[in-house]
Chain A
Amino acid sequence: MKVRVDEAGLVLDRPDDQVLDVLFDGRRVWSFRGTKVAERANGAWRVAWPRDLRGFLRGAALVTVRGSEGTVLTETEVRFGDHDGRVSVVDGEGRPLVVDPGGRLVTTFDASDPEHLVPLVDAIELVLRKLIDLGLDAFPAYGTLLGAVRDGRLIGHDNDADVAYLSRHTHPVDVIRESFRVQRLLHRDGFEISRYSGGAFKVTVRGSDGTPRGLDVFSGFLYRGRLVLMGEIFAPFEESWLRPLGTVELEGRRLPAPAEPERLLATMYGPSWRVPDPTFKFETPHEVGHRLDLWFRGTRTYRNGWDRRYSTSRHRGPNRTPHELARMLHRAEAPETTVVDVGCGRGQDAVWLARRGHRVFGLDFSGNGYAHLRDRAREEGWSVELADLNLLELRHTLAWGARLARVDGPRALLVRHLLNATTPRGRAHLWRLARMTLGDGGRLYAEFLVRPPGRRREYKDPLVWELDPDLVESEAVSAGATVVSSQVVEVEGIERPTETEDGSSPYSCRMVMEWGTP
């Protein structure tokens, strides 16, 4: 195959299925298969630079394209734009980044000093030991098992680690409850944990260079002759292929392993699992994904989008001007009112209200958004608590509802562009939280996008959308509230949660509802 490289991407004369590695100044930054990504344009097969990589393409680079046998297909000096210097694909701390099979830039293991990975390997060993101590048959899984069985190492082009355990339970409800228990016990051992679903969570481990690395912990169980293993597997399987456990070596450590790891790897990666493939992406059959979704998921919807949006927010403060809805609340409520800003985003309204004398809770499921102001609030002693609340998890909703119900004095809820940014489950849980918090009296101030009469609006931001005020009102009334005012306004400047495709102003509904004294 012949390959040409230019500023826009690569041109292939006849794409085939081999894995092509792209190196900038001798370092791999991306791998792909021509048949998967090349597109026919003007009589040529073109492969555009991945979207996340484009932002880094400034300056010159010696671009090498290597075929599967290591043969160099081209080596070309390319200049991107009229910038001086060399192209540098690194993160804010100077760590080299690589495009992963999902198109995202990650810090792969082979780009890290092996010394920096020691804390991750320590954590794999420790978490496995904790799980085994709990009576669970635990082992490295997915890429971590693959690397261990292939050559006893972490896979160079991987960037996180996976472990799994085989539960003795056979019903999803019991498996989920066990996963909750395991999470609590690991939390008590000091691990930082974020839950993906009812059957999986991530432990964050800091490398010795500070790089955060994910160690995913997946539940597995046997169900009617099949192995169910979060997050991808639902396949015929024998219990004896997993237990009693054997052992495998990883980075010089002896770790527990499935009785026949080859069987599990073939189920995970297909018959060619022994051949390394940096472009591998799970293509879970629809029925499997659907079943796992129904059983376990729905607690993280839109979360990755918000996390990505706020990924660099910790380092810069938000615009501190409050939104009109916060001003409305402040004008109408007594100064001693405790305010709960649900879906507080960057936290500027929560802080503004706190600085005007309210006790405030600012809650959101994407912690990076408010991290900057939380640090400031701690330094300054502001009366605001910025904390995690994932409204999609009933446990979060009930635990926060119980806590807020114990707060003395009057309370009010501020809910700005949350109802129109979450799922029906998220809305149901918001109403439950409101009822628990305001059930003995108090007001909720909501704002959400609405469609102007007779006009369609296309929004640039896929994370917010329009809601029908009648739907919101009927849900609020079902939750025991009375709507006391509702007003539709054209919003400008910082009041806009998103731009519209045609540049016109979005419309918001500001609705105040009240729970009476029982």
Chain B
Amino acid sequence: MGHAMTDSQPTSRATGRGPLRALRRVTDPRGLADRVARLEAEVDELQQLNLRLAELTDVVQELLLPIARQDPDRAVELLERYREELGT
């Protein structure tokens, strides 16, 4: 869904403007602080993939077998059971 749909946003450090930026130009000419902030934001985004990947793998693993065996009734049955066992 693109950037707008992710939970994390770049930190204000990465987008700082005004006097802070001017000071940084003098004390941090290679822009390391900004680069670290950007990297932190990107690492955060990658770390969030763990849960999504686990969720996807779980769905696929639980439901792929009957599909591979071309058993649609069993697939529907397993899908129902999968949903019922999700808890709240």
Contacts and interface: CB of A to CB of B under 8 A. Distances in A.
Interface of A: 172-174, 176-177, 180-181, 183-184, 187-188, 192-195, 198, 201, 291, 294-299, 365, 367, 388, 390, 393-396, 398-400, 402-403, 406, 423-425, 427-428, 431, 471, 474-475, 478-479
A399 B79 contact: yes
Interface string B32-63: 00000000000010011011111111110100
B47 to A, nearest CB: 4
A393 B86 contact: yes
Interface string B62-88: 000000000000001001101101111
Given A177-B58, A403-B79, A291 B86 contact: no
Nearest to A295: B50
Contacts of A180: 54-55, 58
Contact of A399 (B44, B51, B59): B59
A479 B4 CA distance: 13
B27 interface: no
A172 B48 CA distance: 10
A409 B49 CA distance: 36
Contact of B53 (A173, A183, A291): A173
B1 interface: yes
User: Which of B48, B59, B82, B87 gathers the greatest number of chain A CB atoms within 10 Å?
Assistant: B87
Contacts of A188: 85
A411 to B, nearest CB: 17
A195 B54 contact: no
A394 B82 CA distance: 13
Contacts of B76: 406
A393 B82 contact: no
B5 interface: yes
17 contacts: A173-B54, A176-B50, A177-B54, A180-B55, A187-B85, A194-B87, A195-B88, A198-B50, A198-B54, A291-B47, A294-B44, A298-B7, A394-B52, A395-B59, A399-B59, A478-B1, A479-B1
B19 interface: no
A194 B5 contact: no
A26 B56 CA distance: 54
Contacts of B59: 394-395, 398-399
Interface in B1-37: 1-2, 4-7
Nearest to B8: A294
Main secondary structure of the interface of A (DSSP, over half): helix
Nearest to A425: B7
A229 B61 CA distance: 26
Contacts of B53: 173
A198 B83 contact: no
A16 to B, nearest CB: 39
**Taking each of A192, A298, A365, A424, which has the highest tally of chain B beta carbons within 10 Å of its own beta carbon?**
A424
Contact of B48 (A192, A298, A403, A431): A298
Contacts of A394: 52, 55-56, 59
Nearest to B9: A424
Contacts of B88: 193-195, 365, 367, 388, 390
A367 B88 CA distance: 8
Contacts of B5: 424-425, 427-428, 475
Contacts of B51: 172, 176, 198, 295-299
A399 B86 contact: yes
A437 B57 CA distance: 22
Contacts of A402: 79
A195 B87 contact: yes
A140 to B, nearest CB: 22
Contacts of B82: 395, 399
B54 A424 contact: no
Given A194-B87, A396-B86, A475 B4 contact: yes
Q: 10 closest Cβ contacts across the A-B interface? A: A176-B54, A294-B47, A193-B87, A399-B83, A394-B55, A172-B50, A428-B5, A194-B88, A388-B88, A198-B51
A304 to B, nearest CB: 13
A194 B86 CA distance: 8
B85 A183 contact: yes
Contacts of B47: 291, 294-295
A419 B13 CA distance: 29
B54 A431 contact: no
Contacts of B87: 183, 187, 192-195, 201, 388
Nearest to B45: A294
A425 B6 CA distance: 7
Contacts of A181: 58
A395 B79 contact: no
Contacts of A298: 7, 48, 51
B58 to A, nearest CB: 5
B50 A424 contact: no
